[in-house]
């Protein structure tokens, strides 16, 4: 049996370790500096570095690294050993404050979207003391932010850290107007991570999974997810063993992995940690994804984090549960038992509604990627249209305020399940709606559009900034209101906001065509593809937002979009090339071999005086010819797209032409696959992959 409390955080340089290893005064100063966001003195950095090194060496470390999150979507690291030559030819283990707070990796090969010419390759990483250092593979990992020599932001963490501070200040200001004083407002996030597990031996035989992370061919198996027997179903022993090891590894890193279960699609699973402050949550999520992949391999499986590994069954997302709390722990999104009279809650709610409506295009843009395009708008994920689910209770409160009426709350309703044998279940004051992209779930909002393989830093940086902008707007309106007039002023303002922005509120089923029509009537965005979604990120309104709050400069926004376009184009390019490779190396030879065998059979039948039945042979031959033709079309479209220099223009061609040609090839390829005899199949089928563990 694992001693979980002992194990938990044993590989992190957390506050308990700091307290043990630092003089009390140093620890207090460090905490104060972190809390107030002040720069660290050199002396303090030296003391921290000394304690960190000691701890790391005792735990078997030989190296340290500045761990950062460049625009590639994954994390980056360069390992340095602790050794320093001593005079007598031996070495000592050395690590100074300078090593801790700053490092200079060569930045030339990280995406910068044209921000930094390669000859100015200098990049700096700077220690983020708000996230704990940790040990992995005998190396001390120091979470850092990454910027260029000229100070341009080149990573995902820096904007997030800035947004956290901006949101805290805006929230504090509004709270102060309401007579609530706190040192700091904290953004909390609990990300639910979905993923698939497939057998490694099968994975190796699929070039599409190896190169693209998703299947590009594959006919539907006789059984998919229609029986709804996988969701929350009993976990298979091999998967259970994986989950147990994953939990242990994450716990060692202080990552509070909590809930593990089977998801809707066969072979799909989910892990949710207990929520933490958003900066930690994002770092933890990056590590969680890395460990999922690594531990799956140990169990002979491969973890697929792609948003849509399989056609026809659910894709994977990362539900971003988001809330705000004061330093003292009061959840600012908790309506309490009487939302109607809760000024603080109503104002935060109204600000969020206003922000999501005004910046719906931004929110969609933050989760835009080639992979996520297959998910948003498909029948399981939230649609590409951003809307807010509030549930009957809160909608009732806001409607009452809008029409100037009193609202009587139902409070928490007790549901009796059976006689006296089962405890009464307390019913939440919001019902559930799995189809909403931005759902209020009792005391937090759940943003469900993020893709499973994406970093959560970007959506949260924008979400925080949007809400900060609106909280400031609200604070401007209420500033100077006399205390006795506050109630009336709050109701008036909430009414104004709700009436102006209620088009974004939608409590119905987001998967229906009726909603798509209704949303169009309401004038909501429906950016179905990444190129459309990205185009919105650079509009004046959206650039002004982040520039005003000091999150990005205009140049940084443009360069980031450039990176996104490029990433999109490269992804589609790899996918298209992989399809052509599979066509020519796998599918076509398999079909031709089968055709040859069938033809030979027909000939020998004829030689024996029998009348050969060539109907099937003809069918296969025609299907193969159609597939080949679709392959030729794809190859032509690909050449045209590759020739376009401008990444934004190229992305439209990739989306409109290349993707369309890929879809056609997939259909005809799958048409051939279903005709192939078992021994001719060139790779494991959907049935093998989805039910193979």
* 3-class state of residue 331 by DSSP: strand
Asked whether the CA dihedral 202, 203, 208, 209 is positive or negative, the reply is: positive
Residue 249 interacts with, from Mg ion, ligand ADP, none (CB under 5-8 Å by kind): none
- Return the structure tokens found at 26: 């140093």
Q: How far is the CB of 580 from ligand ADP (least distance, A)?
A: 41
**Smallest distance from ligand ADP to CB 192, Å:** 5
Task: List the single partner that 275 binds among ligand ADP, Mg ion, none, CB under 5 to 8 Å by kind.
Answer: ligand ADP
Work out how close the CB of 157 gets to Mg ion at its nearest, in angstroms, rounded to a whole number. 25
Count of residues touching Mg ion (by CB under 5 A): 1
For residues 146 to 185, the per-residue mask of contacts with ligand ADP, x marking binding by CB under 6 A and - elsewhere, is ----------------------------------------
With 0-12 / 13-18 / 19 or more C-beta atoms within 10 angstroms meaning exposed / middle / buried, residue 643 is exposed
363 three-class SS = helix
In whole angstroms, give the CA distance from residue 499 to residue 492.
Answer: 11
**By C-beta, is 274 or 488 nearer to ligand ADP?**
274
Looking up tokens 């988001």 gives 322
Select 288 or 685, whichever has its Cβ closest to ligand ADP: 288
**Of ligand ADP, Mg ion, none, which one sits near residue 143, judging by CB under 5 to 8 A according to partner kind?**
none
Among 70, 73, 190, 371, binds ligand ADP (CB under 6 A): 190
SS (H, E, C) 374-414: CCCCCCCCCCCCCCEECHHHHHHHHHHHHCCCCCCCCCCEE
SS3 sequence, 159-189?
A: HHHHHHHHHHHHHHHHHHHCCCCCCCEEEEE
Closest CB 446 distance from ligand ADP, rounded Å: 6
What is the Cα–Cα distance from 378 to 446, expressed in whole angstroms?
Answer: 19
Structural element, H or E, at residue 438: strand 438-440
Q: Where are the alpha helices (DSSP H) in 89-140?
A: 97-101
Binding partner of residue 62 among Mg ion, ligand ADP, none, CB cut-off 5 to 8 Å per kind = none
The entry of ligand ADP, Mg ion, none that residue 620 binds, CB within 5 to 8 Å by partner kind: none
- Alpha-carbon distance of 228 to 230, in angstroms, equals 6
Q: How far is the CB of 315 from ligand ADP (least distance, A)?
A: 17
Nearer Cβ to ligand ADP (443/647):
443
Site for Mg ion in 299-338 (CB under 5 A): 319
Cα-based distances in Å from 36 to 46, 49, 551 = 20, 20, 18
Q: Binding partner of residue 542 among Mg ion, ligand ADP, none, CB under 5 to 8 Å per kind? A: none
User: In terms of Cα–Cα distance, which of 315, 305, 310, 307 is closest to 285?
Assistant: 305
Number of C-beta neighbours around residue 432 at 10 A: 13
Binding track, positions 441-480, relative to ligand ADP; x by CB under 6 A: --xx------------------------------------
Shortest CB 321 distance to ligand ADP, Å: 3
Contacted by 443, from ligand ADP, Mg ion, none: CB < 5 to 8 Å by type: ligand ADP
Contact characters 416-445, ligand ADP, x per CB under 6 A: ---------------------------xx-
Least distance CB 42 / ligand ADP (angstroms): 37
Measured CA distances, 304 to 69, 216, 289, 465, 613 (Å): 20, 14, 10, 31, 44
CB of 290 to Mg ion, least distance (A): 23
Site string for ligand ADP, 251-280 (x = CB under 6 A): ---------------------xxxx-----
Position 672 contacts ligand ADP (CB under 6 A): no
CB of 274 to Mg ion, least distance (A): 13
Q: Which residue is nearest to ligand ADP (CB)?
A: 190
Question: Judged by CB, which is closer to ligand ADP: 180, or 547?
Answer: 180
User: Taking a C-beta distance cutoff of 8 angstroms, is the pair 475, 177 a contact?
Assistant: yes
Distance CA 358, CA 80 (A): 46
Q: Mapping DSSP to helix (H, G, I), strand (E, B) and coil, where does residue 221 land?
A: coil
Instruction: Name the strand (E) or helix (H) holding 199.
Output: strand 185-199
> At its nearest, how many Å lie between ligand ADP and the CB of residue 436?
12
Residues in 304-363 at the binding interface with ligand ADP, rule: CB under 6 A: 321-323, 331
Contact 579, 662 (CB under 8 A): yes
Q: Which residues are near Mg ion by CB under 5 A? A: 319
Q: Which residues are near ligand ADP by CB under 6 A? A: 188-190, 192, 272-275, 321-323, 331, 443-444
């Amino acid at each position: 049996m694992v001693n979980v409390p002992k194990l938990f955080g044993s590989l992190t340089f957390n506050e308990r370790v700091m307290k043990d290893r630092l003089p009390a005064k140093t620890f207090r100063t460090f905490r104060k500096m972190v809390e107030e966001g002040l720069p660290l003195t050199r002396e303090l950095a030296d003391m921290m570095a000394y304690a960190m090194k000691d701890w790391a060496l005792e735990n078997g470390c030989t190296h340290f690294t500045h761990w950062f999150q460049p625009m590639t979507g994954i994390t980056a690291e360069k390992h340095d050993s602790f050794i320093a030559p001593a005079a007598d030819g031996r070495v000592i283990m050395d690590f100074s404050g300078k090593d801790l707070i700053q490092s200079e990796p060569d930045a030339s090969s990280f995406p910068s979207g044209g921000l930094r010419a390669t000859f100015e390759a200098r990049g700096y990483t700077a220690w983020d003391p708000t996230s704990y250092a940790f040990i992995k593979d005998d190396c001390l990992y120091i979470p850092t932010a990454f910027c260029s020599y000229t100070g341009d932001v080149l990573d995902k963490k820096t904007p997030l850290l800035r947004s956290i501070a901006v949101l805290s200040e805006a929230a504090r200001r509004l709270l102060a107007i309401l007579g609530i004083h706190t040192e700091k407002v904290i953004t909390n996030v609990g990300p639910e991570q979905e993923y698939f597990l497939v057998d490694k031996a099968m994975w190796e035989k699929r070039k599409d999974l190896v190169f693209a992370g998703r299947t590009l061919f594959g006919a539907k198996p006789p059984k998919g997810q229609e029986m709804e027997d996988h969701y929350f179903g009993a976990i298979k022993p091999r998967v259970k063993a994986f989950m147990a090891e994953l939990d242990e590894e994450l716990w060692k890193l202080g990552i509070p992995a909590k809930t593990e279960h089977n998801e809707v699609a066969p072979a799909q699973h989910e892990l949710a940690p207990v929520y933490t402050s958003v900066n930690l949550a994002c770092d933890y999520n990056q590590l969680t994804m890395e460990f999922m992949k690594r531990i799956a391999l140990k169990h002979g499986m491969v973890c697929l984090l792609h948003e849509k590994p399989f056609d026809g069954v659910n894709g994977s997302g990362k539900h971003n549960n988001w809330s705000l709390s004061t330093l003292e722990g009061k959840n600012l999104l908790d309506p309490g038992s009487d939302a109607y009279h809760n000024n603080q809650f109503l104002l935060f709610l109204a600000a969020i509604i206003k922000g999501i409506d005004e910046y719906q295009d931004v929110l969609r843009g933050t989760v835009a990627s080639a992979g996520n395009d297959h998910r948003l708008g498909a029948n399981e994920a939230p649609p590409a249209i951003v809307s807010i689910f509030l549930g009957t209770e809160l909608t009732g409160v806001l409607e009452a305020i809008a029409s100037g009426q009193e609202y009587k709350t139902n409070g928490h309703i007790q549901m009796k399940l059976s006689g006296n044998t089962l405890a009464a279940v307390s019913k939440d004051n919001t019902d559930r709606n799995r189809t909403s992209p931005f759902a209020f779930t009792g005391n937090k909002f759940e943003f469900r559009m993020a893709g499973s393989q994406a970093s959560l830093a970007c959506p949260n940086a924008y979400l925080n900034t949007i809400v900060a902008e609106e909280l400031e707007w609200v604070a401007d309106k209420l500033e100077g209101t006399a205390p006795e007039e506050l109630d009336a002023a709050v109701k008036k303002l909430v009414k104004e906001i709700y009436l102006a922005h209620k088009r974004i509120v939608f409590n119905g089923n987001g998967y229906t065509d009726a909603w798509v029509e209704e949303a169009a009537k309401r004038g909501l965005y429906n950016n179905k593809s990444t190129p459309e979604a990205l185009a919105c990120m650079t509009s004046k309104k959206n650039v002004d937002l982040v520039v005003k709050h000091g999150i990005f400069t205009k140049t940084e926004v443009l360069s980031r979009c450039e990176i996104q376009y490029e990433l999109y184009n490269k992804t589609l390019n790899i996918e298209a090339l992989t399809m052509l490779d599979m066509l020519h190396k796998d599918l076509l030879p398999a079909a031709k071999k089968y055709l040859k065998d069938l033809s030979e059979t027909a000939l020998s039948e004829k030689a024996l005086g029998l009348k050969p039945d060539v109907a099937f042979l003809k069918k296969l031959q025609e299907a193969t010819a159609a597939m080949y033709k679709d392959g030729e079309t794809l190859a032509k479209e690909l050449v045209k797209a590759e020739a376009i220099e401008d990444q934004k223009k190229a992305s439209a061609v990739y989306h409109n032409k290349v993707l369309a040609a890929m879809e056609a090839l997939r259909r005809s390829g799958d048409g051939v696959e279903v005709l192939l005899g078992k021994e001719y199949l060139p790779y494991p089928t959907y049935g093998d992959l989805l039910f193979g563990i």
